Amino acid sequence: MQLPSSLLENAVAQFAKLPGIGKKTALRLVLHLLKQDVSEVQLFGETIAKMRRDIRFCQRCHNISDGDICAICANSQRNQRVICVVENIRDVIAIESTQQFNGTYHVLGGIISPLDGIGPEQLTIESLINRIAQEQVEELVFALSPNIQGDTTIYYIQKKMASPDCKITTIARGIAFGGELEYADEMTLARSIANRLPVQQYVK
């Protein structure tokens, strides 16, 4: 695909670097922007650049933040003694949108995965261990991916913790709402039978 202008070509190349966007989609996006006002496209470019330049990460939980400490860590209405450990920022957004969790978070930045070359030192595990040692943490809720890497990460953090007197939990695994039993994989079904709940607790 040969483009009639180097300016267009450069813009398409920039969009095509984004994940899931090929050259044809990139061209469609660029031609859309070409129909917008100059000032609007200027704003688009500036907003993106400014976001990357000025965004900060919370020094406590490593979530995205406008300041040194994120809005969740700074909120005294939230239970600062409960920490939900997640892989990335998207998980924080997903859990926040359920409005079911009133504690704080700790964003690891990934999970331990030797095959991908990700060890504990690439993650914010040390910062989590320090937090547990300094703050009077009552509960640590692991909300990691249900796979070997996730389990390894939980195991590693548990081993590293100096004070094992805080409660350690993990989000429930089981059959999803709307899921049909016959299509559930064996492992999930097995776990959900082993961890069965009293109906009273379930409907609570």
Which parts of this chain interact with its own copies (CB under 8 A)? 1-8, 10-11, 14-15, 17-21, 25, 27-34, 36, 38, 41-55, 63-66, 70-72, 88-90, 92-93, 96-97
Q: Which is nearer to its own copies, 66 or 169 (CB)?
A: 66
- For 102-133, b/e burial (b = at least 16 CB within 10 A) is ebbbbbbbbbbbeeeebebeebbbebbbebbe
Cβ 71 to its own copies shortest distance, Å:
6
Q: Which is nearer to its own copies, 47 or 134 (CB)?
A: 47
Cβ 40 to its own copies shortest distance, Å:
8
Q: What are phi and psi of 193, to 5 degrees?
A: -80, -45
Cβ 28 to its own copies shortest distance, Å:
7
Cβ 60 to its own copies shortest distance, Å:
13
Query: What one-letter code names the amino acid at 56?
Result: R
Helix (H) or strand (E) holding 169: strand 167-170
Q: Which residue has the tokens 């350690």?
A: 168
Cβ 107 to its own copies shortest distance, Å:
10
Q: Which is nearer to its own copies, 17 or 159 (CB)?
A: 17
Q: Which is nearer to its own copies, 45 or 146 (CB)?
A: 45
Query: What one-letter code names the amino acid at 106?
Result: H
**DSSP one-letter string for 24-77:** HHHHHHHHHHHTS-HHHHHHHHHHHHHHHHH-EE-TTT--EESSSS-HHHH-TT
Q: Which is nearer to its own copies, 5 or 76 (CB)?
A: 5
